[in-house]
Amino acid sequence: MFAKLFESYILKGIALKNRFLMAPMTRSRASQPGDIPNALMATYYAQRASAGLIITEATQVSLQGKGYAKTPGIYTQEQIEGWKLTTKAVHHAGSKIFLQLWHVGRVSSSKVNGLQPIAPSSLIAKDTNVYIFDGATNGDATFVPVEEPREMTQEDMEVVIQEFAQGAKNAIEAGFDGVEIHGANGYLIDQFLRSNSNQRIDAYGGTQENRIRLLIQITKAVIVAVGKERTGVRLSPFITFKDMDDAEILDTIMLAAEELNKLDIAYIHLCEADWADAPLIPEIFRIELRKKFTNTIIATGNKTPEEGEKLLADNLVDLIGFGRKFLTNPDYPQRVKLEAPLNDISDNHTLFGGGDSRGYTDYTFMN
């Protein structure tokens, strides 16, 4: 059972021991000040090295790109040194790991980073919040509304492109096997892709060709920095939260996939809605994407092992991402193989933030 999930796989020359992928999940454990990855984070990731490939939590490429408190960065030497703890531990435990490069764009507040957010257009994301830790006695995150962004200039875009490229170089210096460009979930690149959040009238707005321009330019810069075999892109065609509902997005994603295919990057990672009444991904979309993009395709979105196995067997995707299953079960593949019971989330208060092992590295392994 689950023969495909347990197959080894070659990702652009990188040997993976199975097709389980640990999906990126923000946990807000970086050391302060400086948003520096630490030994506790290294333990957390190494515990979950049962996955063939781990994608780290979203990691900001600059202070401007930060949208939530205590998320790690990849733009200072201290952050690079901090991440080396994680890459060394994960490699020692027998897995591969990519760093997810992140810029939140308009999904931020000056209460988080002291800066006005930037975005393709000066449109605030309705009904969208970010969080800070304001010293409340229970340690919980405090949610605050995002602020109105400043419309980006050409210079701003050139800066962001270089921040992604430098972040990729820094990730390789830190020992990562590759990087994933975060173009999903309503953050900066996704804001450029969508007609409702991007109302520019220059070369970065209007047509679908223009709206994918920043994504392609960032991807090209990252390829120059670290190589196409170490570069992946995450997209979320069916996710509309953070005020991102766009009737044109599927066509835009397909156009982007064609251009990314020409660049011969390692993979496209689909972030798929994972709540109970989420829209199903039509099979025709997967078939069409497979035609447009011929390298590795990853699907993540609260799938059961049975659903993942079928997608692999039908050759619609190549790797299956699991998020919360890995969060609570560091030995998740072994539990799947043995059909063993799964741990549940022990305390929702520990999902974001916390200074110790509770709800983070204290989830039990099977005997």
- pLDDT tens digits for 49-97? 999 999 999 999 999 999 999 999 999 999 999 999 999 999 999 999 9
Q: Could you give all domains of the chain from N- to C-terminal order, each with its CATH number?
A: 9-350 (3.20.20.70)
Average pLDDT of every residue of the chain: 96
Quick one: pLDDT at residue 332?
98
The model scores a pTM over 0.95? yes
Residue 272's pLDDT band (cuts 50, 70, 90) = very high
What is the rounded distance in angstroms from the CA atom of residue 60 to the CA atom of residue 76? 11
Question: Tens of pLDDT along 4-17?
Answer: 999 999 999 999 99
Quick one: pLDDT at residue 139?
72
- The residue-averaged pLDDT of 23-27 equals 97
Quick one: pLDDT at residue 276?
60
Element counts in the chain: helices (H) and strands (E): 12, 14
What is the rounded distance in angstroms from the CA atom of residue 218 to the CA atom of residue 171? 15
User: Which positions are annotated as active-site residues?
Assistant: 187
Quick one: pLDDT at residue 211?
98
Nearest 5°: the CA angle 151, 222, 88 is 120
Quick one: pLDDT at residue 138?
65
Question: Tens of pLDDT along 116-134?
Answer: 999 999 999 999 999 999 8
Residue 277's pLDDT band (cuts 50, 70, 90) = low
Bridge pairing between strands 150-151 and 9-11? unpaired
